[in-house]
Amino acid sequence: MNVGVAFEAGDGQSEVMEVASVRLQMRIAKVIRRHRESTKLSQEAFADHIKMHRAQYSFVERGKRDIRLSTLERVAKGLEKPIWTLLREAEEG
């Protein structure tokens, strides 16, 4: 998968942090999708369940946007999972 990332010139640490951030974002998206699929709800039905526009939720689940903590909280509540569970699973890969 190609993910466009803007890099700052410099010591390379910004670049490494950006790549790590994108990877974590994609892993979080994968965890969210797996849990949503286990509910047997479609993306649209789950988005309705958590009162989020389906397009916005689709971006979250596909890892296309940085996820805000408030959005992650909303998704976690809809999945009936604590945020830390989603983050831990994403971190474990």
Q: What is the pLDDT of residues 14-45, one digit of tens each?
A: 666 577 788 899 999 999 999 999 999 999 99
Q: Kindly report the average pLDDT of the chain as a whole number.
A: 87
d(CA 37, CA 75): 13
Model confidence at 3: pLDDT above 60: no
User: Kindly report the CA angle at 23 between 55 and 31, in degrees rounded to 5?
Assistant: 60
**Residue 4 within a domain:** no
Q: Copy the structure tokens of residue 45.
A: 């039905």
The total number of structural domains that make up the chain:
1
Q: Copy the structure tokens of residue 13.
A: 């640490």
Does the predicted model carry a pTM greater than 0.75? Answer: yes
d(CA 41, CA 75): 13
**Residue 3 within a domain:** no
Q: Please, are residues 31 and 89 in contact by the beta-carbon 8 Å criterion?
A: yes
Find the domain containing 40 and state its range: 13-92
